[in-house]
Each structure stands twice: as structure tokens, then as C-alpha cells.
Amino acid sequence: MPKPANSLPLQDLKVIEMGQLIAGPFASKLLGEFGADVLKIEPPGVGDPLRKWRKLKDGTSLWWHVQSRNKRSLTLDLKTPEAQAIVRRLVAEADILVENFRPGTLEDWGLGWDALSELNPRLVMLRISGYGQTGPYRDRPGFGVVGEAMGGLRYLSGYPGQPPVRVGVSLGDSLSSLYGVIGVLLALQERQRSGLGQCIDVALYESVFAMMESLVPEFDVFGYVREPAGSALPGITPSNSYLCGDGRYVLVAGNGDSIYKRLMQLIGRPDLADDPALAHNDGRSAQAERIDAAIAEWTGRHSRDAVIEALQGARVPAGYPYTAADIVADPHYLARQMIEQVQTFAGPLKVPGVLPKLSRTPGRLGTGGPHLGEHTDDVLAGLGLTEAQRQGLRDRGII
């Protein structure tokens, strides 16, 4: 079970989040799950657009309660000098600033890295954007879909001769968030020695490109352009999806040398198991269609559950595509506390658990996402603004 809040690893850190939608807020979500005090700044009246994305309950996105859990909400119109002055006061006491606006936006508001780091030399600033803070494309707007395309992922997704497809989640944004959090933790570690913060520049397309394995060296040496291959994993054999006799699919990863032999024995193909030409991956990849056909012939004679049971008995990695219904009912998910229930202003809600799992100072689920501006008065009162001053800002639409 999670330890008390006073044992969270990032409990003493103050984070200001000035981003919206996915990449920046996902990064600060991760920091908040491990104890950081995350103050999310949102535009008055409308808030983060994510509040209205996908399925809504009582007018608010259910996604909101995952993406914004453990955060406080402060409304500020950042285009106004009064709001910018408040941000500077908050930054003076902050450890981390997370933002994912288009490059140059914060500079236009007088809140760029140079200005804020002079105000607070210990500040660690995470900047996530489509193309990064430098280079000829820096001023272009960029969402995760563009990063996935430019990073090389979209070209490989789908089947040969068909339009490229996307993964059903915002993978480019989430990968950038993970790289951003790694950068923040590296900068905090270095700050312990130097006493100084630094700026972390994460580009969506670069985060995707970093996942592209041997894509570039293969082109560099052989002029080889990797093409989409559907559900197969080119050059790694066998690793594919196969149709079972009941019309459902099973995924089989039999590409280890000894695993491959066990798989071929299981499906009744000792000729393929004992063929010296197929003993190692390079030989198998040259005959991938032959091997895949043999596996498909076997799976096509059995139900998916029977196939899975047989493969598990032979110690061959196998599974099937989980739906949301499969996930919430799976005993392994439950045993690993990966499906948890939290109380939100929309009622009790099942949400994903916290990763990674630390043995001594695990993260927290905490609260669901906040109401828009729920903590505005508390934050501004903490800065010394009187009730009359706060009302004045509210009357002018600044908060």
C-alpha cells in the first residue's frame, strides 16, 4: 500500500504548469504523482481545452481526472501584465516550470527562460514543443500527430500499400512527456551540485524519432528504407498476429532461438524446428512468410483461449489485444494495483494506477482533477493579495 504523503520522493518541489492539453500536463502529472506540488495555470472562463475532450460527465472530460489529478488550479489571463506579474512572484519560489506553448509565446509575455532564470537561478524549466526551441521549423505549430509523422512512426504504421494509421492514443505527446520528466530529474540531480537550474528543450518529433531503433543506420549503410509491415515486426521472426479458429486474434512472439524451437514442436512442425537454416533470427527472417503460414495454419484450427493456453504451457510469449473491458477485469492488473478508484467531483472513478512502482516511496493517486480556478483565491491570498484586490482582478477578467 502507498506510504504516507510525507514519504513521497518529490514532496518538497513546487511545480508551475503553464501548458495545456497533453504533453506538458502529462509531464507535470507524473511529477505530482510522486509528491510535487503542481499548480496548474489555466485561462479564466474556459480552462484547459482538455476539460472538454472525449467523453464528458457532468460537463467535464473523464480524461481530465487522470491527466490533472493531484493538481491545483489557478486561473490567470497570461496576456495581461497583472497576471504576468503574479507568475513572476510564483516562479521566484518555484523549482520547476512546465510549459508547452509554441516557442516565443512566453518571451512575448516577458516570461521566457532568460527572464525567469535571472529571477530564480535555481529554476528548472521544461519546454515541450512540436519542433523544439531552435531550428528552421521552431515557429510552426506542432501536435503529437505531426511529431509522430516527422519522427518516422506514421510511415511504418499500417499495411503495405494502404494509408498510414495512427496508434489510438497520443503517443508522440506522451513520449515527449516522459523525456521531459527524465530531463527534469537529471537537472534536479545536477542542481544539487551546482545550485543552478537549467532549461530542458524537448521536441515532439525528436521524442518519436528516438524510438526508431535501427531506422537510420540501416539507411546509412544499405540505403534501406523500412516500409510498413502490418502486424509483423520486420527482421524479427516470428513476431506477428494470427487468426484463430473462433475469429479472434492471438499475438505470438517466438523470435528467441530456443523459444522458436519450442513453438515449432508445439504446432507439429519439427521440420521447421530442426532446420539449421532457421536456427537463428537472420535465417528465420529470410523465410518469415513460410514460418508465419505454419503458425497461422495451427492457430486457425483452435480457439484463441486454447491457443493461448497451449503457448503458455510451452513457455512461448503470447497474448491477445485487450479491450478496456478486458483490462478492468484482469486479475493481474488488479493484483498490481493498476486499476484504482478515486473520488472526483464527477463521483467515484476507475483510473490507471501510478508508474513506476517504487518499493519504499511509491507514488500517490490522490485527488481527481480540480474545478476550474478552484485554488485561485488560496494561491493569491498566499501571495498577500487582499479580497478586494482579488475581486478587482476577477472583475477585469484577469482571474
Q: Confidence band (pLDDT; 50, 70, 90) for 166? A: confident
- Between the alpha carbon of residue 212 and those of residues 148, 183, 218, the distances in Å are 11, 20, 11
Q: Confidence band (pLDDT; 50, 70, 90) for 6? A: low
* Catalytic residue positions, numbered: 173
Spatial separation of the C-alpha atoms in residues 155 and 228, rounded to whole Å? 7
Prior bond of 238 cis (ω within 30°): yes
Share of the chain above pLDDT 90, in %: 91
Q: Calculate the average pLDDT of the chain.
A: 95
Residue 143 pLDDT > 90:
no
Q: Within 13 A of 375's CA, how many CA atoms are on the CB side?
A: 16
Q: What is the mean pLDDT of residues 31-48?
A: 97
> Taking the model in full, what pTM does it have?
0.92
Report yes or no: 370 and 71 within 8 Å, Cβ to Cβ: yes
Spatial separation of the C-alpha atoms in residues 378 and 307, rounded to whole Å? 58
Q: What is the mean pLDDT of residues 300-310?
A: 97
| CA neighbor of 34 nearest in space, from 364, 367, 351, 368 | 364
Residue 133 pLDDT > 80:
yes
pLDDT per residue over 210-245, tens digit each? 999 999 999 999 999 999 988 888 889 999 999 999
Q: What is the mean pLDDT of residues 298-307?
A: 98
Q: Confidence band (pLDDT; 50, 70, 90) for 5? A: very low
- Which pLDDT value is given to residue 142? 86
Spatial separation of the C-alpha atoms in residues 319 and 305, rounded to whole Å? 10
Q: What is the mean pLDDT of residues 244-258?
A: 96
Q: Which residues of 176-200 are buried (b: 16+ CB within 10 A; e: fewer)?
A: bbebbbebbbebbeebeeeeebbbb
Spatial separation of the C-alpha atoms in residues 392 and 398, rounded to whole Å? 9
Residue 264 sits at φ, ψ, to 5 deg, of -65, -35
3-state SS track over the chain: CCCCHHHCCCCCCEEEECCCCCHHHHHHHHHHHCCCEEEEEECCCCCCHHHHCCCEECCEECCHHHHCCCEEEEECCCCCHHHHHHHHHHHCCCCEEEECCCCCHHHHCCCCHHHHHHHCCCCEEEEEECCCCCCCCCCCCCCHHHHHHHCCHHHHCCCCCCCCCCCCCCHHHHHHHHHHHHHHHHHHHHHHHHCCCCEEEEEHHHHHHCCCCCHHHHHHHHCCCCCCCCCCCCCCCCEEEEECCCCCEEEEECCCHHHHHHHHHHCCCHHHHHCHHHCCHHHHHHCHHHHHHHHHHHHCCCCHHHHHHHHHHCCCCEECCCCHHHHHHCHHHHHCCCEEEEEECCEEEEEECCCCCCCCCCCCCCCCCCCCCCCHHHHHHHCCCCHHHHHHHHHCCCC
Q: And the C-alpha cell for 269?
A: 512442425
Amino acid at 394: R
Q: Confidence band (pLDDT; 50, 70, 90) for 168? A: confident
- Between the alpha carbon of residue 391 and those of residues 61, 80, 170, 399, the distances in Å are 29, 16, 39, 9
Share of the chain above pLDDT 70, in %: 98
- Which pLDDT value is given to residue 1? 41
Q: What is the mean pLDDT of residues 174-203?
A: 98
Spatial separation of the C-alpha atoms in residues 235 and 311, rounded to whole Å? 22
Amino acid at 38: V
- Which pLDDT value is given to residue 167? 87
Residue 72 pLDDT > 80:
yes
Domains and CATH numbers, the chain: 5-210+334-395 (3.40.50.10540), 239-243+249-319 (3.30.1540.10)
Place of cell 506553448: 101
Q: What is the mean pLDDT of residues 158-164?
A: 90
129 strand-pairing partners:
203
